Amino acid sequence: MSPSTILGYAARAAGQPLEPFTYEPPALGEHDVRVSITHCGVCHTDIHAVDDYYGITTYPFVPGHEIVGYVSAVGREASGLKEGDRVGIGWQGRSCGQCEWCLKGEEQLCMDIVQAATWLPYGGFSSSVIVDSRFAYPLPDAMPSEFASALMCAGITVYSPLRSFAAAPSRKIGIIGVGGLGHLALQFARALGYEVTAISSSPEKKEQALAFGAHHFVVSDQASLSELEFTFDLLLCTASGKIDWVPLLDTLKKDCKLILVGFPDVEFNSTDLVAHQLSITTSFLGNRARMREMLSFAHAQAITPAIELMPMSQVNEALQKVRENKARYRIVLVNETEGTRT
Ligand SMILES: [Zn+2]
Ligand SMILES: [Zn+2]
């Protein structure tokens, strides 16, 4: 094993537990940086990819895309970063740079997005990762690495649509789900000036939802939601799995929007949408400018992810907790190899 050998945790086949996996670092492209990983958050998308839910996973597969670490090597043409800089990296680690979306600065919509994933060839549950330097973001000095880690995917995922659709202050928003994404959405929405209602199937989350910034809390049962008919200007759904949509849609004012950022099961009767002229829209990651803006906004507004730290060697226990919805609210894996800076 050479000194540059990378130690990661890989699934060998769909749905399998991760196993230690070593590999030689891929060649450093001229715009690339190599980053020695100290922290990596666990996202539902990692589990979907391990399970090949999207039908695009190649094995052995090393998940992980909420990365914080230190730059350990810099490609010839990479500018703006130097060895030793602390950076964050999210789901997107590169882009084609040539399609209409990349040329417009909307790289998250790159036509080659599948190839743009940070986890190709291998992701952040690992000692190092190589990405295009333009997708490695310098972090505010005082921001704890575990906070930055959770912001790199969960943070940008909720911040971007809240920013895009924010308009007049005191717009009423309902945030569906108080979990890894939802607990950050409550904080960002409050800081952006919305009147925020947390909507959760778990009544025991009320106190925490209010502490995260919600003005109001409602349990997502039919009786409670029926009291909120025509209340919200915007609904942001951060939950996944099965959802009873009809009473939720009835809480939207006419001609307003539901935004999906997670991957819930959707089943709508078109009448429920058309008769109130409702729109459903979605949001995927954010462009590079939005990513930098999100980090500085989070820092200025003291957005505080609720983090459970676990050693990276316990990656399978961490994934299991996320599968069972038991993470409170984001698990961040800490690399025991920190300090060796491979
Ligand atoms: Zn993610
Ligand atoms: Zn592109």
CB 188 within 8 A of CB 234: no
Q: Where are the beta strands (DSSP E) in the chain?
A: 6-11, 18-23, 32-41, 67-74, 86-89, 128-132, 137-138, 172-176, 195-200, 216-219, 232-237, 252-260, 279-282, 307-311, 330-334
How far does residue 153's CA lie from ligand 1's centre (Å)? 5
Q: Is the pLDDT at 338 greater than 60, yes or no?
A: no
How far does residue 65's CA lie from ligand 2's centre (Å)? 19
How far does residue 63's CA lie from ligand 1's centre (Å)? 10
Dist. CA 152–CA 154, nearest whole Å: 6
How far does residue 132's CA lie from ligand 2's centre (Å)? 13
Report DSSP state, residue 5: -
How far does residue 67's CA lie from ligand 2's centre (Å)? 22
How far does residue 51's CA lie from ligand 2's centre (Å)? 26
Q: Is the pLDDT at 73 greater than 50, yes or no?
A: yes
Ligand sitting nearest the alpha carbon of 48: 1
How far does residue 116's CA lie from ligand 2's centre (Å)? 9
Ligand sitting nearest the alpha carbon of 118: 1
Ligand sitting nearest the alpha carbon of 119: 1
pLDDT averaged over the chain? 94
CB 185 within 8 A of CB 238: yes
Ligand sitting nearest the alpha carbon of 105: 2
| Closest to 161 measured CA to CA, from 279, 270, 56 | 279
Average pLDDT over residues 269-285: 92
Amino acid at 309: L
Amino acid 167: pLDDT:
60
How far does residue 99's CA lie from ligand 2's centre (Å)? 4
- 217 φ/ψ sector (left φ>0, alpha ψ -120 to 50, else beta): beta
Amino acid 342: pLDDT:
45
Q: Is the pLDDT at 316 greater than 90, yes or no?
A: yes
Dist. CA 23–CA 56, nearest whole Å: 21
Ligand sitting nearest the alpha carbon of 153: 1
| Residue 168 pLDDT grade (very low, low, confident, very high; cuts 50, 70, 90) | low
**Cis peptide, bond prior to residue 329, ω within 30 of zero:** yes
Q: Which structure tokens are listed for 39?
A: 């922290």
Ligand sitting nearest the alpha carbon of 132: 2
Average pLDDT over residues 66-77: 97
Amino acid 2: pLDDT:
72
Amino acid 153: pLDDT:
97
> In degrees rounded to 5, what are phi and psi of residue 313?
-65, -15
140 contact partners, CB below 8 Å, separation of at least 6: 295, 296, 299
| Residue 169 pLDDT grade (very low, low, confident, very high; cuts 50, 70, 90) | low
Report DSSP state, residue 312: G
How far does residue 327's CA lie from ligand 1's centre (Å)? 14
Q: Which structure tokens are listed for 136?
A: 């490695």
**DSSP string covering 263-302:** -B-----HHHHHTTT-EEEE--S--HHHHHHHHHHHHHTT
Min mean pLDDT across 60-64, 101-105, 162-166 is at 162-166
